[in-house]
């Protein structure tokens, strides 16, 4: 086993206060493209950049176009948790991992069995009416064609945080609490480019910060351990 992976394993073995903070790279090995890798959504051809389509003003103005993108690019059939999701659930079950803080909206941590999952950007597995707030099963939004509408006439929207929208205060506060109290913080599969989520790292006060990401990130110099490998491959060895 690689020395760095061995080091990370030792930190985890010796701790009961590990926190994981992750992003889209955690799910690429499940077949969900991320945003910024070469085959990520930002490098695929689309009429508007994903950042524009996934913004509040775009959703309000062009819901039809938004839903075309949503169903084609965000909803992927048959995806399953990979070795990283499964290991994190196992570590929580073993009393070692306190929480998963994720920027992902795919629900795969819960599918793997994780209980404490702080979804900073919400989930495409939940939806509600943008006019009256009534919740709807996600299938009405994720399947079919056109713009899904509520009985009141309002547009049904995903329970995700679109660009231009604020994060949920309660979720952010809890994420700050667990990260600032963590002994070991593992950050994985995130380019650490999307704020305010990426800024959460600054709340960590310990000296066991591990970064597991395929490409370099702006925080590599601040980490105590940096592993540039696939997260599923790394976690299956922990």
Q: Does 79 interact with ligand CNA (rule: CB under 6 A)?
A: no
Encode burial over 194-212: b for 16+ CB neighbours within 10 A, e otherwise: beebbebbeebebebbbbb
* Smallest gap from residue 41 Cβ to ligand CNA (A): 6
Catalytic residue list contains 228: no
Residue 107 tokens read as 């629900």
Residue 128 tokens read as 């509600």
Of 190, 210, 223, 238, the one binding ligand CNA (CB under 6 A) is 190
* Smallest gap from residue 50 Cβ to ligand CNA (A): 8
Of 4, 36, 96, 177, the one binding ligand CNA (CB under 6 A) is 36
Of 27, 110, 114, 142, the one binding ligand CNA (CB under 6 A) is 27
End-to-end CA distance of the chain: 10
Query: Sign of torsion, CA 235 35 44 62?
Result: positive
Which residue, 120 or 150, has its beta carbon nearer to ligand CNA?
120
Which residue, 40 or 154, has its beta carbon nearer to ligand CNA?
40
Q: Does 32 interact with ligand CNA (rule: CB under 6 A)?
A: yes
* Smallest gap from residue 114 Cβ to ligand CNA (A): 14
Does the bond joining 141 to the residue before it have cis omega, within 30 degrees of 0?
Answer: no
Query: Is residue 72 exposed (0-12), middle (13-18) or buried (19+ Cβ within 10 Å)?
Result: exposed
Q: Does 106 interact with ligand CNA (rule: CB under 6 A)?
A: yes
* Smallest gap from residue 174 Cβ to ligand CNA (A): 18
Strand order in the sheet with 208-212: 117-119, 97-102, 18-22, 184-188, 208-212, 225-227
Q: Which residues contact ligand CNA (rule: CB under 6 A)? A: 23-25, 27-29, 32, 34-37, 40, 103-106, 121, 189-191, 193-194, 213-215, 230-232
Tell me which residues are annotated as active site: 121
């Amino acid at each position: 086993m690689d020395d760095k992976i061995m080091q990370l394993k030792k930190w985890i073995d010796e701790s009961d206060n590990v926190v994981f903070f992750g992003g889209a790279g955690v799910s690429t090995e499940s077949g969900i493209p991320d945003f910024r890798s070469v085959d990520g959504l930002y490098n695929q051809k689309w009429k508007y950049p994903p950042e524009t389509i996934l913004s509040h003003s775009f959703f309000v103005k062009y819901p039809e176009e938004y839903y075309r993108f949503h169903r084609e690019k965000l909803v992927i059939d048959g995806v399953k948790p990979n070795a990283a999701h499964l290991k994190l659930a196992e570590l929580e079950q073993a009393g070692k991992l306190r929480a998963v803080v994720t920027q992902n909206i795919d629900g795969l941590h819960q599918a793997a069995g994780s209980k404490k999952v702080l979804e900073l950007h919400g989930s495409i597995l939940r939806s509600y009416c943008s006019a009256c707030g009534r919740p709807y099963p996600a299938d009405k939004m994720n399947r079919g064609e056109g713009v899904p509408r509520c009985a009141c006439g309002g547009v049904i929207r995903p329970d995700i945080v679109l660009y231009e929208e604020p994060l949920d205060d309660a979720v952010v506060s809890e994420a700050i609490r667990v990260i600032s109290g963590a002994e070991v913080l593992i950050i994985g599969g995130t380019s650490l480019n999307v704020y305010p989520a990426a800024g959460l790292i600054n709340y960590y006060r310990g000296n066991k910060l591990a970064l597991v990401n395929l490409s370099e990130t702006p925080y590599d110099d601040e980490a105590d351990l940096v592993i540039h490998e696939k997260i599923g491959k790394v976690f299956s060895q922990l």
